[in-house]
Amino acid sequence: MCSSQSSNLSFAMKKSLISLLAFGLMPLAHAQLKAAQPRAMPQNLYAEVSINSINYASSGLSLNPTALRGILGKNLSSNFSYEGLIAFGTSSGEKTVDSTRAIAKIDPIFGGYIKARKELAPGLDVFARFGAASVVKKLSGTYYEKPDPINERMGSMSYGLGIKIGISRDASFVADYMSYYNRKQETIDGYSLGLALDF
């Protein structure tokens, strides 16, 4: 009889201990499950507007025009999207070389890209772009020894790296480096700083 009561008491204590342990572990399990959930799908579309400091380099000469750039993107998942890019020249880059004047303007730029991004922390993403770009270079000045300005459209593979910093639920600061053209010892690349909006 005593043994039976002792066994029942021991069983009840074990049952109570298991229940308390289960209730105690529930918040921890919930937190682990929440942490294991994939990143939420971002909003479907986004747009970016930025100012670009462009570097045009050819045959040892480097000129620095500027451009206003717009990007429209569509999210495919939480980590990938595709983008269309357009930029218009806002100023020319000028330089005097051996008493001759060189002037360059890049206007316009068109591009299409696949973008991959990685969240480093809440509100902080890094990203990479890869695609192709079409650019128009406009060169003038006595340095080029031609009576008429040079107006030439060129195409190349294009890529970039950047960072995005959230400032509100739907707005972020963005900064990136982009290579728009790189062929035959002639390059067009640059840095940008702007604002991105999700909608």
Q: What is the pLDDT of residues 69-109, one digit of tens each?
A: 999 999 999 999 999 999 999 999 999 999 999 999 999 99
pLDDT at 183 over 60: yes
pLDDT band at residue 164, thresholds of 50, 70 and 90? very high
pLDDT computed for residue 7 by the predictor? 42
pLDDT at 14 over 70: no
Phi, psi of 48 (to 5 degrees): -130, 140
Phi, psi of 97 (to 5 degrees): -125, 115
pLDDT band at residue 16, thresholds of 50, 70 and 90? low
CA-wise closest residue to 118 among 177, 78, 178: 78
Other beta carbons within 10 Å of 38: 8
Q: Which amino acid, 32? A: Q
> pLDDT of 22-31, one tens digit each?
444 444 444 4
Q: What percent of the chain has pLDDT over 90?
A: 72
pLDDT computed for residue 42 by the predictor? 65
CA-wise closest residue to 134 among 158, 108, 110: 110
Q: Give the angle subtended at the CA of 97 by the CAs of 94 and 98, to the nearest 5°.
A: 150
Greater confidence (25 vs 199) lies with: 199
> pLDDT of 119-156, one tens digit each?
999 999 999 999 999 999 999 999 988 878 899 999 99
pLDDT computed for residue 64 by the predictor? 98
Q: Is 10 exposed, middle or buried (0-12, 13-18, 19+ CB in 10 A)?
A: exposed
Residues in CB range of 129: below 8 A, 6 or more apart = 83, 113, 114, 115, 158, 159, 160, 161, 162, 176, 178
pTM: 0.78
Q: Give the angle subtended at the CA of 108 by the CAs of 103 and 112, to the nearest 5°.
A: 135
Q: Which CATH number fits domain 45-198: 2.40.160.20, 1.10.3720.10, 1.10.1030.10, 3.40.50.970?
A: 2.40.160.20
> pLDDT of 48-60, one tens digit each?
999 999 999 998 8
pLDDT at 36 over 90: no
CA-wise closest residue to 131 among 181, 92, 88, 90: 181
